[in-house]
Amino acid sequence: MTKKIITISREFGSGGRFIGEEVAQKLGIAYYDKDIIGQIAEQSGLSPKYIQENAELSPKKGMFAYAFTGRDITGKSIEDIVYEAQRKVILEIAEKESCVIIGRNADFILKSRDDVLNVFIHGNMPEKVQRICKLYNVSESDAVKMINDTDKRRRTNYNFYTDQKWGMADNYTLSLNSSQIGYPKCESIIMQCI
Amino acid sequence: MTKKIITISREFGSGGRFIGEEVAQKLGIAYYDKDIIGQIAEQSGLSPKYIQENAELSPKKGMFAYAFTGRDITGKSIEDIVYEAQRKVILEIAEKESCVIIGRNADFILKSRDDVLNVFIHGNMPEKVQRICKLYNVSESDAVKMINDTDKRRRTNYNFYTDQKWGMADNYTLSLNSSQIGYPKCESIIMQCI
């Protein structure tokens, strides 16, 4: 089957976003990452700032609290509203054009399509820490904290809204360790698979 | 770093063994799968038939029983003896030559080396069922049972003897869905990474 949509899930600091951007550019297709936020905001009626800070990430309180707090009388939490808006936007984008979509559970949201290549980019801790130190100008210990915290929130969000476990190879067509393989080879392997 | 050893973990029916054999042949390096059994038998003092039926697979009784039954006064079960023999054989092989090693938790056993490419091959259920029906001349429902049973036993054995979760992308350099990517492309991607 021909793949026209590439979803990239990634560990924080693994370079997944960078790799996705490069692939989109090389293939001359659309790239959706932060640019999706405005559309989700419009769909949900929430502010772009709120979406940026909360979509894709669970609140810091963790899975159990996540599931049971902040729900209105209809049983919908504000996270559910964001997720539903995000789901609609991703389905519309996939219908419209070939593209790379970063994160936001797009692999699961587009599960019923057969033209999607799902990629998971992960890496070794030392390389991820180095990257985060450089990108955000933080200390090593702060970088470790950012990595653990962000990945925990991504994992909680993913596991809550899908019936899958974040980071299980089975969810993805391809999973690549960018620290061991290197970014250019990751890009080339992804492009060979579409 | 240069990789000289390729470990291939795989879901039953995903063609991981076949892909590993092809890669070894194309690279002109050694291939270890069933041939390892004689060496494990020699190391452990158990019969090759017993090793073939039990190494890599947990007993059918499942994880909990696995951990607590059949242990002698030293706390070692027969599975522990097999595992220890298997570990020694795999460490020796890796020391000796470039090779492909199928299964047997080799990714974890060789974790301290930096010349190992760890691959996980998985696939879609319909394709795996088709392959098992053809290879073992069984019905579709029997194939499903064989797949679920074998993978459950592999998972239990892996999770028990390593501190990792079988099938998590993070354990492997590369994880590939052979049903979506196709066997020849899986082989080519593996060879590009060494």
ipTM: 0.88
* Contact criterion met (CB below 8 Å) for B104 and B35: no
**Percentage above 70 pLDDT, chain A:** 88
Q: What is the pLDDT of residue B79?
A: 79
* Mean pLDDT over each residue of chain B, to the nearest integer: 88
Q: Quick one: pLDDT band at residue B70, thresholds 50, 70, 90?
A: low
All residues at 6 or more sequence positions from B115 whose CB lies less than 8 Å from its CB, including other chains: B1, B2, B3, B4, B5
- pLDDT at residue B60 above 60? no
Q: What is the pLDDT of residue B163?
A: 85
Q: Residues of A with CB below 8 A from B181's CB?
A: 173-174, 193
The helix or strand, by DSSP H or E, that contains position A100, with its residue range, turns out to be: strand A99-102
Q: What 3-state class would DSSP assign to A101?
A: strand
Share of chain A residues as helix, strand and coil, in percent rounded to the nearest 5: 55, 15, 30
Look at residues A147, A90, A101 and name the one whose alpha carbon lies nearest to residue B170: A147
Outline where DSSP puts E strands in chain B: 5-10, 30-32, 99-102, 116-122, 174-177
Domains in chain A, number: 1
Q: Residues of B with CB below 8 A from A176's CB?
A: 173-174
CATH number of the domain to which B109 belongs: 3.40.50.300
Q: Which of B173, B180, B189 is facing A177, going by the closest CB pair? A: B173
Q: Residues of B with CB below 8 A from A6's CB?
A: none
Instruction: Give the whole-angstrom CA distance, residue A186 versus residue A30.
Output: 19
- pLDDT at residue A78 above 90? no
State mean pLDDT over B82-93: 89
A94, two tokens: 């996939």
Query: Which chain A residue has its CA at the smallest distance from B166's CA?
Result: A168
Per the structure, the complete domain to which residue B160 belongs is given by 5-192
Buried/exposed code over A114-145 (b: 16+ C-beta within 10 A; e: otherwise): eebbbbbbbbbeebbbebbbeeeeeeeeebbe
State mean pLDDT over B88-104: 92
* Contact criterion met (CB below 8 Å) for A161 and A83: yes
All residues at 6 or more sequence positions from A79 whose CB lies less than 8 Å from its CB, including other chains: A54, A58, A59, A66, A70, A157
* Contact criterion met (CB below 8 Å) for A31 and A100: yes
Residue-wise pLDDT tens digits, B115-166: 999 999 999 999 999 999 999 999 999 999 999 999 999 999 899 889 899 9
Asked if A175's CB is within 8 angstroms of B181's CB, the reply is: no
Residue-wise pLDDT tens digits, A114-143: 999 999 999 999 999 999 999 999 999 999
* Contact criterion met (CB below 8 Å) for A188 and A132: no
Instruction: Give the whole-angstrom CA distance, residue A11 versus residue A122.
Output: 5
Q: What is the pLDDT of residue A66?
A: 55
Q: What is the pLDDT of residue A181?
A: 96
* Contact criterion met (CB below 8 Å) for A80 and A93: no
Q: Residues of B with CB below 8 A from A185's CB?
A: 192-193
Residue-wise pLDDT tens digits, A15-58: 999 999 999 999 999 999 887 888 888 877 888 888 777 767 66
Q: What is the pLDDT of residue B63?
A: 54
Test the A interface: residue of B2, B177, B191 with most A CBs within 10 Å: B177
Q: Quick one: pLDDT band at residue B44, thresholds 50, 70, 90?
A: confident
Sheet holding B99-102: strands in order across? A30-32, A99-102, A5-10, A116-122, A174-177, B174-177, B116-122, B5-10, B99-102, B30-32
Instruction: Give the whole-angstrom CA distance, residue B171 versus residue A150.
Output: 20
Query: Which chain B residue has its CA at the smallest distance from A2's CA?
Result: B180
